[in-house]
Structure 1
Amino acid sequence: MLQSSMKWNFTYTGEVESGGSSDGLTPLTKRLLEKRNIVDPDAIRQFLNPSTEDLHDPFLMDGMRRSITRVKDAISNGESILVFGDYDADGVSSTTLMIEALREAGAECDFYIPNRFTEGYGPNEEAFRFAYDTGYSVIITVDTGIAAIHEAEIAKELGIDLIITDHHEVQEKLPDAYGIIHPKTSSDYPFQELAGVGVAFKFAQALLGYFPKHLLDLVVIGTIADLVPLQGENRVLASIGLQAITNSKRPGILALREVCGIEGEMNEETIGFTIGPRINAVGRLQDASPAVDLLLSPDLEEAREIAKYINQLNQERQKIVADIAKEAEEMLLERDDKDNVIVVAKEGWNPGVLGIVASKLVRKHDRPAIVLGIDTEKGEAKGSARSIDAFDMFTNCMEVRKRFIHFGGHAQAAGMTLDLEQIDLLRKDLNEIAERKLSEEDYQQVLDIEMSVAIEDISLQQIQEIDQLRPFGMGNPKPLFHLKNTPKEIRLIGSKKNHLKMQFQENSTRVDGIAFGLGDLYPHISPADRLDIVGKLSINEWNGRKNLQIMIQDLCVSEWQLFDLRGSKHLEKNLVIPHGQEYIAVSFQGMEESPHDVQIFDHKDIESEKAVDGLLLLDLPKSISQLKEVLNKINVSKLYACYRIEDSTFLKTWPSRDHFKWFYSMLMKRGSFDLYKEGDLLARRKGWDRSMVDFISQVFFELEFVKMKDGLITINAQSSKKDLKESVLYQEREQQLYIEQTLYYSTYKELKNWIDPLMDKESMHVKEEVVNGL
């Protein structure tokens, strides 16, 4: 058996009804909508056909009217306005959008994004004083500012009117700003989950007095890249935003498409895995201003140069992430105990990429993770946190707010700065909180599975129907499906051979399976395994040909497994033992060495009801009953046939009764036969194997049909009639032949089928009861 790494939650047990319905929806679409609690006809319409008509009035947000009035006054008075942004994709797109809206409204404005390394996250006093000295009288924050208590006081002291537009979690106290525009501080606003760029877009709409469609290509970047729930207004903005960015003529977008090799329609995956990471990479490694310059650039050639530079930064970012992740893993290996919440810190780690590293640790260890870069000169550590579904990072860190100099974020992601002496205390506090609040199951990622499907039921039409629910993301995950099948083919792919590619076929339907990052499972999957797979269905289009595909998230084998290593001369290399699992080896003929120093047991010494993960059969039994006895005693999920044969009985000619008759007749005619001198000659003349001549002679001698002395064979006149099978030697050879034929020279499928009933303890127990009862 091969255990799944995640917890599978089958959310629906009923069968999908066939046929359509009066509203034109297929049963599959209706089920997927019901799973998302979308059953009301109006809600269904809004979900399947996102429209700008479903967006809310921006003036429902508290502080909007007052703030817009102040900005319009500033424009009329010729005052300078500073847009203070953040360095991630949401902040960059928010900054760009706000600058474009202000310029269109006639404002004198510029933007400022703090340097992650020298200034840290969010507004800071030095930047505000610089803005004052430069002549700015109004500062508008985008995607940041809701925790800027001190900075709001500085702005007020300087006579700067501070308008905060943000979407991050609200803390105990609000800044004393001129205006705060935040969905979660607006009791009358119907939707509270807008991204920072969504809030900025609402501000732009209110300022310009119309719906600014030309800014939607910016809105979609931050909305998808910031992983806000794609529900309500976010779904509308993301959906129409994807259409906008697909058709965008913005030079920065066109340049990004070129450098990323994006052709045709853009979707949420294009933003999340291609566009977003590149925009994020700038602020992770340096000042994020070039990313804003790219999106604001009116010149395509200039945009191309910036895009190339940004792409190089992203490649550099990838290498830095890989190096830090490796160091973090090494640190965890050195620890004796497995923490409930991972906290790792080291000097020299780039603070800009630590959120990505934290995400990698969460995915690998299924635990919340905080990764910190140490600054010994300041005596501080700065970094990022990522979490699992069951552990709200924002809420739980707020319980120990005293540990931080700065802290902010969401349930699943946060940023922080703390004194060095607080690192171990923070680790201790969060581990105690997790110990108190979480169960063992909480540390296992949950896959919510929509339904089980058969290979032959998957079609292009079905996948296209599922795609009606796009864009997928937080709050509207791409549906996960379960299938059970034996791969026709399975192989390792990728430059590092760390991914799996499978091919499933049932009748005329073929589905390719891709499992990224699961290459380490390859040696633990045997050829005939029926795999249980959970993944996302998609269409892979290549050279105009569309192929069905499932992107595998997790897999398992629910039945016992047979690994065929018969005849292998490289067991050490071919046998991979999973970490933490118990393996033993069994010998029937007294072998003293086993691969990887696995403990060897004599077959007679196996305890009844012994349970192990893996059992190695090092050699062939002398009788089938020996093997049956071992398998009856032991409980095992993985069986390895590791035996070899040096002197095969099966490959030697097995004499028939006619062979025995001819040999006996020859002895009767000749009276004697010198086995030593004439054995080879007889074998050549008859086309027999020499061993067959010896075997026939030994059987006759055992049955007392002949006498033998120093190789001279003569007829025994006193012999009695006996059947050949009365010979122990004949029986042993016949048994050995059967053992080799069954256990060694059989095909994989034949061997698996032969062992199958022996592994079914319940079935064997029933058979024994019946036999004993008779």
Structure 2
Amino acid sequence: MEKWFVTMKKADFYQIGEMFQISPILARLIRNREMVTKDEIEFYLNGTIADLYDGMLMKDMDKAVTILKEKIQANEPIRVIGDYDIDGVNATYILQEGISNLGGDVDTDIPDRIKDGYGLNKALIDRAIEDGIDTIITCDNGIAAMDEIAYGKQQGLTIIVTDHHEVPYIDVGDGKEYLLPHADAVIDPHREDCPYPFKGLCGAAVSYKLIEALYGVMQKDAEDVDYLMENVAIATIGDVMDLTGENRIFVKQGLEMLKRTSNEGLKALMECTGVPVDSLNAYHIGFVIGPCINAGGRLDTAKRALNLLNAKTRREAVMLAEDLKALNDSRKEMTEKGVEQAVALIENTSLKEDKVLVVYLPDCHESIAGIIAGRIREKYYRPVFVLTQGEEDVKGSGRSIEAYNMFEEMNKCRALFTKFGGHKLAAGLSLKEENVERFRESINECANLTEDDLTEKISIDMQLPLRYVNESLIQELELLEPFGKGNPKPLFAEKNLKVIDPRIIGKNKNVLKFKVQDKDGYEMDAICFGDVEGCLETIEQSETMAFTYYPSINEFRGERTIQMVVQNYNPSK
């Protein structure tokens, strides 16, 4: 059962409203998003490219740009080694594009998810040496590749690491000893000694900062790379970074740039997936465009997605975009099947009693383990690891809940893994098959999760009576976009609502449409997606209902009506 609570942040909402020419309702919503000072609110509402921090503030950025300037001028061959997901592909593209525009001799390599696994490995380094490469730059990986980088350095390579993942560490006494790779430069805002003010960048944003700084050092106009912000925006949303601070600006500006992009591949992908370019928002990137870019790395090779970004002709772009869309369609089918298998396993075994779910699906395609883990976490609201049989070892992906720091918990049983890494909310791992059950036992023994931790909290911004909802409020809510992790869509609630004429509609019978009426007789259209059967059953058994909702405009045959889009429901108490 969910627990609903209203966020009660205090402030003078009328004063804030007057100062920024917004309604008190909007002022309250901004305060709920932890904006307190005048400067914070100003940055949130009106931040621009000019407010982004100087990349030279990052530790080792000076070293990296000095090395790259020399390598470019000496025409030494440089290889960018990225990762096979949406962040890695865009980061690779940004570095390749930026360096080649400066006249550098640059090419790229991306590991194969199945053959190579995540990040830098010895085979990739050997391949670079065979190809006569002088310098490797990693992006969206490398921070955990201590041994591989040591090997590359022994072979005489120059290596620059750009990454945004947590720095691996070992516990020593009361503290932590961080394990930095011995590369020529290591750029990662999560370095303990990195003074960069904003730590939440994705890999593509770190790559962008490097290119921007490099342009400055080579006395080129850094504004010439502004267009690459559209790639930073795609990666930031796709890698589910918090849409706060600099990320908010990157995504806001990047989405505007995408609406008029000159990138043939992105144009073709938006066209073939049917996203509305004029009203493109973070949802379209996260749930339509992004999964297609990721599908290459999941089911084939991420080089397909990189080729799409590099496509020079419309014909080539359309062909590649259609291929990626087809791959994503088959990925969706495989995901549904995997979710069904995982649910059956949990429901019919002792797994159901575990606080941390470790689900072993040997035949599942390892590339979709993370997506299945995310879906299972949504269903059971517990940390989830989905493990699959890889080519050599068992591989897995984890997705966590707010109260459980997955990366730190995995550190407690690190001896069981052949490889692991990640963040608080997501992680990846490899281990021997004989250790699967031991891992399940150990990770559950270590878990100090209470019943309260395992109860999903629904944070409501405010109770909002129906009569306050009008077109100008709905329009004003757009000032809070882009929505996503760290900047959620506002959630309103109202109770004691009578439901009139509920009916299931849609060709897949997955939409519940009805009217709601408050105690004063005020009516509004309402719509609910998702578990429509459960919602209808609750409505039929209750006199009045409480709903959490987001208001929107429904346009149908030229008529505009206000409707509430229901997110959660409960009988009114």
1:177 aligns with 2:183: yes
* Cα distance in structure 2, aligned partners of 1:113 and 1:551: 41
Please show how residues 305-316 of structure 1 align to structure 2 within 5 Å. 305-316=319-330
For residue 6 of structure 1, the aligned residue among 2, 7, 31 is 2
Deviation at 1:495, TM superposition (A): 4.4
Partner of 1:439: 450
1:424 corresponds, among 437, 455, 458, to: 437
Q: Deviations over 1:285-328 (max 9, x none)?
A: 11110101101112111101100010000100000001111111
Partner SS for 1:443:
coil
Counterpart for residue 176 of structure 2: none
Matching residue's letter, 2:349: R
5+ unaligned residues in a row in structure 2: which ranges? Answer: 170-178, 217-221
- The one-letter amino acid of 2:384's match is A
Amino acid of the structure 1 residue aligned with 2:491: L
TM-fit CA distance, 1:180: 0.7
SS of equivalent to 1:486 = strand
* Shift of residue 179, structure 1, vs aligned partner: 0.8
1:140 to 125, 132, 137: 137
In the alignment, which of 101, 119, 122 is matched to residue 119 of structure 2? 122
CA contact (8 A) 2:357 2:385 kept: yes
Partner residue, 1:354: 369
Out of 85, 88, 92, the residue aligned to residue 85 of structure 2 is 88
Question: Which digits, 9 at most, give the CA deviation of each residue in 1:583-639, with x for residues without a partner?
Answer: xxxxxxxxxxxxxxxxxxxxxxxxxxxxxxxxxxxxxxxxxxxxxxxxxxxxxxxxx
Q: Which amino acid aligns with 1:456?
A: R
Cα offset, 1:496, TM superposition: 4.3
The superposition leaves residues 394-414 of structure 1 with CA deviations (integer Å, 9 ceiling, x where unpaired) of: 111111111111111111111
Alignment of 1:661-700 (within 5 A): none
Which among 490, 494, 499 is matched to residue 483 of structure 1?
Answer: 494
Separation of aligned partners in 2, 1:402 and 1:493: 52
Judge conservation of contact 1:279–1:310 (CA < 8 Å) in 2. Answer: yes
Kept in 2: contact 1:9–1:449 (CA 8 A): yes
Retained in 2: the 8 A contact 1:16–1:28? Answer: no
DSSP 3-state at the match of 1:258: helix
- Structure 2 residue 260 is matched with structure 1 residue 260: no
CA distance in 1, matches of 2:273, 2:12: 40
**CA 329–107 in structure 1, closer or farther in 2 if over 3 Å, else same:** same
**Residue 357 (structure 2) aligns with:** 342
Structure 1 distance, partners of 2:569, 2:489, is 18
Amino acid across the alignment from 1:11 = T
- Provide the rounded CA distance (Å) in 2 between the counterparts of 1:398 and 1:414: 11
Question: In the alignment, what sits opposite 2:264?
Answer: 251
**Matching of residue 298 in structure 1 with residue 312 in structure 2:** yes
- Say if 2:388 and 2:395, in contact at 8 Å, map to a contact too: yes
Which residue matches 2:295?
A: 281
Query: Shift of the alpha carbon at 1:528?
Result: 6.2
Kept after mapping to 2: 8 A contact 1:514/1:549:
no
1:556 and 2:553 are equivalent in the alignment: no
Q: Is the CA contact 2:359–2:386 (under 8 Å) kept in the aligned structure 1? A: yes
Of 451, 454, 464, which residue of structure 1 is paired with 2:462?
A: 451
CA shift at 1:139, angstroms? 0.8
CA shift for structure 1 position 527: 7.2
Match of 2:175 in 1: none
Give CA-to-partner distance per residue, 1:632-676, whole Å, 9 cap, x none.
xxxxxxxxxxxxxxxxxxxxxxxxxxxxxxxxxxxxxxxxxxxxx
Asked if 1:108 corresponds to 2:121, the answer is: no
The answer to whether structure 1 residue 400 and structure 2 residue 413 are counterparts is yes
Question: Does the C-alpha gap of structure 1 residues 86 and 15 become closer, same or farther in structure 2, counting only changes over 3 Å?
Answer: closer
Q: Equivalents in 1 of 2:531, 2:308: separation in Å?
A: 33
For residue 545 of structure 1, report the CA deviation from its aligned partner: 4.0
In structure 2, C-alpha distance between the alignment counterparts of 1:53 and 1:406, rounded to whole Å: 41
For the aligned residue pairs, the C-alpha RMSD in angstroms reads 2.0
In 2, Cα distance between the equivalents of 1:154 and 1:542? Answer: 63
- How many Å apart are 1:531 and its aligned residue? 1.2
Question: Which one-letter code corresponds to 1:502 in the other structure?
Answer: F
After TM superposition, the structure 1 = structure 2 runs for residues 508-547 of structure 1, keeping only pairs within 5 Å, are 510-526=524-540, 529-547=543-561
Write the distance in 2 (CA, Å) between the matches of 1:406 and 1:493: 48
TM-score, length-normalised on structure 1?
0.69
Question: SS in structure 1 opposite 2:18?
Answer: coil
Contact between 1:13 and 1:451, CA under 8 Å: does it hold in 2? no
1:54-95: CA deviations, max 9, x gaps? 111111111111111111211111111111111111111111
User: Deviation at 1:367?
Assistant: 0.7
Distance 1:525 1:243, change over 3 A: same
Tell me if structure 2 keeps the 8 A contact 1:505–1:511: no
State how far apart, in whole Å, the 2-side matches of 1:164 and 1:368 are: 31
Residues 1:107 and 1:438: Cα distance change in structure 2 (over 3 Å)? same
1:215 maps to 228
Moved over 6 A (4+): 13-19
Q: Which runs of 5+ in 1 are unaligned?
A: 560-774
Q: Does 1:199 align with 2:206?
A: yes
Structure number, greater radius of gyration: 1
Q: Matched residues in 2 for 1:15 and 1:149: separation?
A: 49
Letter in 2 for 1:513: I
The SS at the match of 1:347 is coil
CA distance in 2, matches of 1:542, 1:393: 45
Select which of 39, 61, 65 maps to 1:64.
61
Identity %: 35
- Greater shift, 307-316 or 148-157, is seen at 148-157
Aligned residue pairs total: 551
In the alignment, residue 476 of structure 1 is paired with which amino acid?
N
Structure 1 CA distance, aligned partners of 2:329 and 2:114? 19
